[in-house]
Every structure is written in structure tokens, then in C-alpha cells.
Structure 1
Amino acid sequence: MKAVVRTRSLPGLLLALLLAALTVLSAGSPPASAATSVSTVAEALRKSPVYVDPAASAQLSSADAHALAEQIKHADKPLFVAVLPAGYPTANLFQNLRTATGITGLYAIRLGDRFDARADSSVLPRTAVQNLVTSVQGEKNAKTQLTDFTHGALTNMGGSAPSSWGSSSGGGGVSYTALITAGAVLVAGGAGVYTLVRRGRRRRAEEQRAALDRLRVVVDEDITAFGEELDRLDFHPAEAGADDAMRADYERALDAYEQAKSFMAAATKPEDVRAVTQALEDGRFSLALLTARREGRPLPERRPPCFFDPRHGPSVTDAGWMPPGGAPREVPVCAADATRLADGRDPVVREVDTDQGRRPYWDAGPAYGPWAGGYFGGGLLPGLLVGTMLGSMMATPSYAADYGSGYGDFGGGYDGGDVSGADFDPGDFGGGFGDGGGGDFGGGGGDFGGGF
């Protein structure tokens, strides 16, 4: 189901901005007694991505907090960072803060010298959150820890920053002159805001095109390789011994080849690539059936393609494999790679171009999710890729159910930055402080109970 997006006319947008500004100005500053309440923290985070509690100001200077906030805003990601004092109440803190803020995103909290994070699964999978938190857990300096976490999070997370960032609240009492002046400034700047929104959309569209261009090189190689397989087959429907079943297999393989070329020509975003690789996989299985019929062998069962390179064709068995730093698992492999692994040699891995040079496709970034999903459908791929970059990104429930429905910055799967209020999955923000984010904040001693 596609989300319904309502667009406003420019006058309507300007009016909404004016009313919002008048509301903020008339509200004034919150009372000092509420300085550390969850609602106060949430109100601050709706206006800026970084909040430092006055009682924790020694941990992160105003200049460092401002620099961190600017980095997050510049990346256009829904990352929220709060620095709180060590004695801050932790019961259900993440869930309550997410409810009060009401914005889909990634929430990171430094509490004294402890750190943890939670996220809506549509923005960043729980496994990815755990890995990011663990990677900075040993850093005692708040600036270093938050900077490193922010850098890793912005690289991996999806979604866009909320539109509320950048607004500012007024001081204490506000005169009608100030209200009128603020309204006039907003009306005058409304056209500029509208222009910025359109510019952001254009930028994301350009990112989509750039990702598709990089992905197109890999897909074209796959299509070419399949075409070469068809040529090497040297099958003629009228040849001696050919029967209707063989001709049907061959026709399905030819149809898959033409479909793959057609789907790729019509692709406008990386998600569209899933249909291409799915067609290629269907075609390769048809060729496997045809080959078995021609050679008088039993027909092969339908299996996923070789994990290491889908161009190797359908797998024939499962073999043990462990990515660097990951846990061992069984992956589907072709006969040649099964032999290599049995002999203690490395399999022939599909590598693609990245900014860091040639890398295996599972370490090449989010655009390859739809590409891999077309080959490994049915919920298989996340289990195969646990512990890899791509596997962490693909661990969201919505993406596991339908690869290519939205991935990172490349489509409509992420709703980060959207205002959802209290309508979110509490499981994404549950657990004790450190239980869900991957940290160790009490050695199992229960210092934070069951609800950060």
C-alpha cells in the first residue's frame, strides 16, 4: 500500500508556517522546573537534532553540540541525540522520548558516561543499531563518542530530516509588534522555504539516478552473461530429440532474457532492478531444466542461485561460510564453489565497484539490496547476510517481506522524519538501557531496570 501524500499550495504552506511561528512565540520559554522533563527534551529535539541538558553541559560544549547538529542537518537524516546527566530517570526513557517527540528516527542518548540508542526499524534495523552502539562503547569522551556514532549512523540509516528543524523559539514575553514582524518575515521567507523543499527533492532524485547508474553496470553484466549462456547452449527447437518440454524450457529462458532487458531499460530507481534479477534467475533455472532433459538426467529441484555469484547459476548444495568478523552459516553454492570450499580454497566472489575499490556485493552499500533480493527472494537473504553491511540494512521486517520496496535513500521504504506521534512499534524502543542497543551499562546488574 502506498502512503498518501498530501501537497499544499504555497499560500497554504505560508499560512501554516505563520501559525506555527505565532504559536511558538506566544508560548514563550518553558519553565525552569521542566528543564529535564521528557517533554522538554522532546520539544528541543523537534527543533534541533542535538539536546544537551543543563546538568550535563560539562560533557559537551555548546560549540561541539552546534557542530554535531549542523553535521546531522547537513546529512538530512532523522538522527536525534540527547546528552543527559547520570542521575536522569531511565524507566521507559527511549519509548517515552520517542512518543513525546513523535518523529520517526534514530534516538541516541548519552547518560552520564553511558551510551545507548534505539531506532524505528524503518530507519535502521535493530542489528545495525546494536553494531553501531558497540563500536563506540569504549569511548569515554562524549564528543568523540557522539561524533563517531553520528558518522556511522548517518552512513547507514535511511529517511530524511524532519521539516521542523531549523525553526527557533522566542524568548519570554512577546509584543504584538514582534508577532507581526515574525509573521512578515515568515511570509517573505516562505517562498524560500518552498524552494528549499523542492531542492531537497531534486537532490534525492539525483542520488537515486546516481545509484541506479552505478547499479546498471552490474546488471548489464548479468544480462550479458545470461545471453552468452543462451548462445553456448546451441539448442534448436527443431533438432533431433527435442520435445515439447525442452522447447517450453527454451522459450521461457528466451522470454526471461527479453524481460530482463526490457525491465532494465525501463528502470528509473534502484528498486526497479529487483524485477530484472528475478527474471534472470527464472531464466537460468529454465536453462538448468533444459540441460537436464537433453542429457537424460533427473530434473533439478528449484534452489536459489549460488550465493557467491548468482551468475554461477542455481546452487546444488549448501556449504559452511563465515564472513570476516561474522558468525558461520550455511549458504547455497554451485558445484564449483562447493569444491573450492571443500579443498580449503576461497570461492569465486562477485565483486563490484565502490568508493573504496572493488568489494563483495554484500559490502557494497544499500543500492545492491534490490539487486540481491531479486535473486534470493522469499525471506532467504537476510539470514545469509547476517553480520555483513548489506545484511544489517536489510533486516527490517518490511524489507524482508518485499525486497526493493524501498531501500536507504533510494525509494519509498523509509519514512524517517515523518511525524507519526505515538503510532510506532514499541518493540523498537523497548528493553533496558543497554539491552537493545548492544551496550553494557550495568554488567547485568539491573541498574536501569526494564525500561530504557
Structure 2
Amino acid sequence: MKAVLSRGLVLPLVTLMTAVLTVLYAGAPGAQAATATDVSGIAQALRRSPVYVDPAASGQLSAPEARALAKKIKDAGKPVFITVLPAGYPTSRLFTDVRTATGITGVYAIRLGDRFDARADSSVLPRTAVQNLVTSVQGESAAKQLNDFTDRALGNAGGHAPASWGTPGGNVSSTALITAAVVLVVGGSGAYALLRRSRTRREQEQRAALERLRVVVDEDITAFGEELDRLDFRPGEPGADDAMRSDYARALDAYERAKSFMAAAQRPEDVKAVTQELEEGRFSLSVLAARREGRPLPGRRPPCFFDPRHGPSVADAVWTPPGGAPREVPVCAADRARLADGREPLVREVDTEYGRRPYWDAGPAYGPWAGGYFGGGLLPGLLMGTLLGSMMAAPAYAADYGSGYGDFGAGGYQGGDVSGADFDPGDFGGGFGDGGGGDFGGGGDFGGGF
């Protein structure tokens, strides 16, 4: 044992034992009541227990009710946080600030007076699901509302309870934790060797995936470059104005950035920035075309689902993949006409070890590729039931191919993980009057007027 401890492992052991003691003496389980009503006080309480009732709002949820609710959440092992506040509590940025201060990925619900709302990290619960759950409990009494929301959220939420809550049903055995710590230290050398081999193998797989993906992305860049070459526009031509020149410049800049990002790509997830630029460039060209032809400027729409090289979509059309469920997908004019005639759309196929396949059946590396074109919010609905959609829903996907492609439950941080302030407020949504930043209605309006 002395030999093991002499190899630079004393500090990690001390750190681990400190964490053990923190868990053991964090306090009794159940709802925590703090005298502080500021965000820091709320966050400190939520890190210890899933339910916080402000002393000024204790009439809404009694102490026994709060303890029972907290036990229900802890027994389920899901990262659901419930806060009860008095009616006059300031609402501006409340959800974002509480989530930032607590620092744990999860579902956050707040009862404020007789109003109720919720937000969640999309890796735990999709935005639409949060909105539906909030709607389903509006108008109920405090105890019934909080219990009904909790029951439904626990049945839908992903992830795990944060370690700071301890184990369901009571405190952790100090003997068990200390024994586990010693075993971890003794076995550290072997575990490190296994981890190193696993990491090397994963890096090799990522490099191979990037090289296969590079062929497709280079085709995309080349196709966009050819569009620019065919464009019959000169900044100094008669009739050209500053707006047209700006559109043209944006398209050229996007093309150059796409080439630069691809040249610097090291992992499959780096490709997302490339396809984002190509999508931006093609939209700029569509705006330029409308200005030159005197048409109304087009609204921002995603590219054609079947092949982003077709350019921005013009409508949504119902499409059913072989063996899958119907769904609406954005389509270009040509593919909309083909679908209306009962013909197959012109699908982007890529090379795989099984021959040419649609990109959504070609492998996991196409998640970042599609994410750049379609944005995170669209992908789950577009890819449901496909091979790529199933892969992106796997918990390990983000470690290999990145995160942020939608509500697949595969973010870099899973529910219950400590992310601190490392989260995208735009990806923390749901509830009513969502202002895109996890705030109450975007302007301090709790629940969008409820």
C-alpha cells in the first residue's frame, strides 16, 4: 500500500475522502429550508435535496408534503428540482440564474404564488415535453400540481440523480465509501492502462470516421463553389445596390470559412461548423436572387432534408421512410413536386461498407454533418426511426461525435451531471412564454402571463 501511495496518489485519495465526508455530513435527507431567499440560497438547498420551499411560501407546501415529494424524487433517481417561492419573488432571469447557480443538468420547476412554470436541459427532457407537462397541471392546487408534475416528469426525464443528494432512502455507509476509495486507489494503475487503450482506440475510430466524412463534406463545398461560379452577378453591375453586395459578400465569406473549418477539422464534430457555413451561404444566395428579381425576401428555412445541396427548402411535406413513421420534412421545390406525384425524392446517398446508402443510414459521423445544416431542434423529428437517429439517442454518442444536435438525450452532460455554468441557455427551455434563454417569458413575465 505504501508503494501505491508513493506514486503521486496521495492527493487524489485525500480529494476523494473529502468528497466522501461531504456526502456523509451534507445533512439529513428531505426538503431543505433555508432562511436565505436569494438565488444562491435556493441553489445551495437544491444541491442538497430536490425540493426547496421558501420560508415565506411554506403555506403552499407543508414540511411533511415537501419531505414526501423529495423522497419520491430521490427514490426515482431522476434530476427533477422543485422550488416553491412567494408570489412577490422577482422573476427576471429566474430560471437561468437558478440553473446556473445550482450547476446541475436537470428539470427545474417553480411554483411562484399561484403560478407555475418549468424549464429543462434538452439532454434530460425535450422542450416540447416540458411545455406539455406544464400545460397538463395548470390550475391545480400547489400540492397536487407539484406532485402531478413530478410524477409525469419522473416518467419522462432522462439522466440520474446528482451525487450530492446521497443515495435513495438514507445516508451512505461511511465504511463502504472508505473501502471503495481504498480499492479505487489500489486498482488505479490497472484502470488507467485500460482507459488509455480505450482512448487510443476511440481516437483511431474518430479519425477514420472523419476521413470518410471528409469526402462528403468536400463534395458539399465543391458544389457550393460551383454555384458561386455560375452566379451571374457582379458587384459593380448596373442595378446592384449595397444590400445585394452584402448578400454576395456573405456568401463568399461563408464559402471561405467552410473551406478553412474543414481544413482544420480534427474530429467528426468539427464538421458541424462547416455545414453551418454552407447553409448560411446558400441562404444568402437565395436572398440575393430575390432582391435581383424584385421578389419578397424569403424567410429563413432549413435546407432540403433529402439533400442540403438543393438549397433552402420552400415548404414542409409529409414523407415516410421505408419501415418508418410519417413525418414532415423541409423540401425543395423539385422534391415537393416529386413527392406530390408519388415519386421518390432525390436523396443524398453516400458510400458505406454496405454500398451507397442515404446519409441518415450511413453511420454516426453524419450527426454533426446534419446538425450543422438543420440545427439542433429539427433533428429529432426528422431522424426518428432512422439508423442515425437511433445512434444519436445512445448515451455514449456525445463522447465520440459531439453534442448539441437536438433532444436525443445525448448531450455532453447527462441529467444529474454537474455542469456548473457550462450550459447553453437557449438549450434550457420549455414551459410558457419561453424567451429562448430559459427566462420567464423573456422579459420577467412569469409563465407568459399566468
TM-score under structure 2 length normalisation:
0.49
Q: With a CA cutoff of 8 Å and minimum separation of 6, indicate the structure with the bigger relative contact order.
A: 1
TM-score under structure 1 length normalisation:
0.49
